[in-house]
Every structure is written in C-alpha cells, then in structure tokens.
Amino acid sequence: MPLIKNNQIVEDTWIAVDDDADIPATGNVIVGYDCWREQRDHFASHAGRVGVRLKSDQPPSLINGSLHAIDLIALEFPAYTDGRAYSYARLLRDRYGFEGEIRAVGDVLRDQAFYMLRCGFDSFAVTNENALSGWLDAFEEFTHVYQPATDQRAFVIHQRHYTAQAAE
C-alpha cells in the first residue's frame, strides 16, 4: 500500500501486524491497541520502533499516559463519513502534545487530505494506487482556510479582520 508523507510517495518502513499474527522480533511495527495493551512490557524492549493503531471507537485517552513510548499512531477511518479520527489527531497534537507520526489509515480519501494535514496527520496510507497523483496535488489546492486547526494558519475571518484594521 502506498504511503504519502511530506507530500511525497515514500517507502513504508513500518510493518502493520494483524491482531492475531506473531510480532516480528525486529523492525518498526504497528500493532492494534489491544495487542499493545496486553504486551506493553514486551514492546519496551522491542528492537525497533513501536506504533499503535487505534480504531475509531478507541480514543487517544487510552494511550495518553504512554505516548513517550510510542513513535507512530495510526488512526483508522472505517468509512470516509466517520470523522472521529480528525478529533483524535487534534487531541493528540493539541492536548496531549504528541510529536510522533500520526498516520491516517483505512477509508482515506484525497478530498479529505488537506484538512487531515491541518488536524495533525503527517502520513497517509492510500489504498487506491490509481489516485496517487491526485493525492499529491490535494495538499496545495486551498489558499485560504475557514476554520482553526492544529496548524495554526490564520483563517478567513482573521484575515478579513486584519485587512479591515489596516484600512482604517
């Protein structure tokens, strides 16, 4: 599955481990929350980096006390209409101060890429390889934003206010 990070198609150096699969002894692994919770001590000595995959009904508060031991958090989009992962990404960045990688996985669409980036996602597991070129354009399509987000860009209402003040 292609991975987009820093507006480029990159090689994914992480191994996504299914819930019922054996965990490789080495390498960067992404495991489900339940696996991570049950084997947390094992991951403390794992020879590689550790990522945790949260389903849409698993809020980041479940891992808040352990963020220092997690390098990547994969937030699942079970359907493009399920927006909980947007809120989770913002919580991870703004409230919990997570500085590692936040990856969007699942039903991740190009049309949502720009706002995902604004909410704190920095990588995207794209399932439709035919849409990759369009994905790379999605991050540059908008010049103005209409709502506040993690990226702290000035949104339209602020820009209008500053323009009006400057005209006075």
Is residue 93 in a domain?
Answer: yes
For 116, the domain range is 3-142
The mean pLDDT value for 56-63 works out to 96
Is residue 71 in a domain?
Answer: yes
Is residue 61 in a domain?
Answer: yes
In this prediction, residue 37 carries a pLDDT of 93
In this prediction, residue 34 carries a pLDDT of 95
The mean pLDDT value for 68-76 works out to 96
pTM: 0.81
In this prediction, residue 42 carries a pLDDT of 85
Is residue 160 in a domain?
Answer: no
Is residue 68 in a domain?
Answer: yes
Is residue 70 in a domain?
Answer: yes
Is residue 154 in a domain?
Answer: no
Q: Which CATH number do you get for residue 10?
A: 3.20.20.70
Is residue 152 in a domain?
Answer: no
For residue 43, pLDDT beyond 80: yes
For residue 121, pLDDT beyond 70: yes
Q: What one-letter code names the amino acid at 127? A: T
Q: Domain total for the chain?
A: 1
Q: Determine what percent of the chain is predicted with pLDDT higher than 70.
A: 75
Partners of 50 in the β-ladder: 29
